[in-house]
Amino acid sequence: MMSSLAMIMCSSFISLHTAYAQPLKFGFGDTETYPRKWKENGEYVGVYIDIIKEVILRSGIDIDLEPYPHERLLQYLQNGKVDGAIGLYKNNEREQFATYVDIPIAWLRTGVFVKKEHLSSINEISDLNGKVIGKVRGVTLNKKLEKAIEEGQFSIEETATYEQSVRKLLAGRIDALLAPNFSTRYLLKELGASKEILLLPLYFEPARPVYVLFSNSSIISEKIGMFNKITKVLADMEHEKRFDEIQYNYDIH
């Protein structure tokens, strides 16, 4: 869907990309979650895109960045069809087929959104028992929540996008929505639903870091050198607080 990010750089920067002969192919989830990544004029923009652009410039490594449905991205990481990814949580399953650059590029918090008229009736997590909870397909949940689902405390209804979930909540087809705090509040504002749907002061889990990671099955040459170079670049960006600066450019001030 997207051309190489390196190709959209101005020509004075392209000459820097000579350290490695092959480009890396990276993926990211194709859901639109402002400010991390969303579409403008058919192309993805946002925090993750800006981070990869800066990694390209600093490292001299070309990176082709493509959006994929979440489950397909994980499959491609597992079989080496992509060399890496940006913006994924860390868990034991994924660490079996991917190596993480252990530097968080962002911290995300999942909240519980409900219609305004139900706000006063939900004071703790157990008040959601028996409800239908919406979430986006492929998004991982913590063990406590997964256990509650297995025990039948409430049921999960999945959608392909957060916008679909919000519309289901507005229509009363689900009772609550598990979704990222910031990006969902932004989406509600865009849909004109900020007064109808509100964020509960409850959390299933603390803020979680997301990372850049490499596929263990990738067969691209010089992979170790590229991994080490990108790790150094991300460490420098963290030290310089560049991730915070990039995020700040998109915050609603």
User: What's the CA gap between 250 and 38, in Å, rounded?
Assistant: 12
Residues 44 and 119 in one domain: no
Mean pLDDT on 148-155: 80
**Quick one: 114 exposed, middle or buried, by C-beta within 10 A (0-12, 13-18, 19+)?**
buried
Angle of helix 223-239 relative to helix 47-59, nearest 10 degrees, comes to 110
pLDDT digits (tens, 9 = 90+) for 85-110: 999 999 999 999 999 999 999 998 88
Residues 182 and 130 in one domain: yes
The number of beta carbons lying within 10 Å of the beta carbon of residue 57 is: 15
Q: Could you give the number of structural domains in the chain?
A: 2
User: What's the CA gap between 199 and 211, in Å, rounded?
Assistant: 26
47 falls in which pLDDT band (50, 70, 90)? very high
Q: What is the pLDDT of residue 19?
A: 61
Residues 120 and 136 in one domain: yes
Note down the domain range covering 140.
Answer: 110-199
203 falls in which pLDDT band (50, 70, 90)? confident
Q: What is the pLDDT of residue 6?
A: 39
Residues 131 and 40 in one domain: no
- Cβ-based neighbours of 10, under 8 Å, separated by 6 or more: none
Residue 157 CA to its chain's centroid (Å):
20
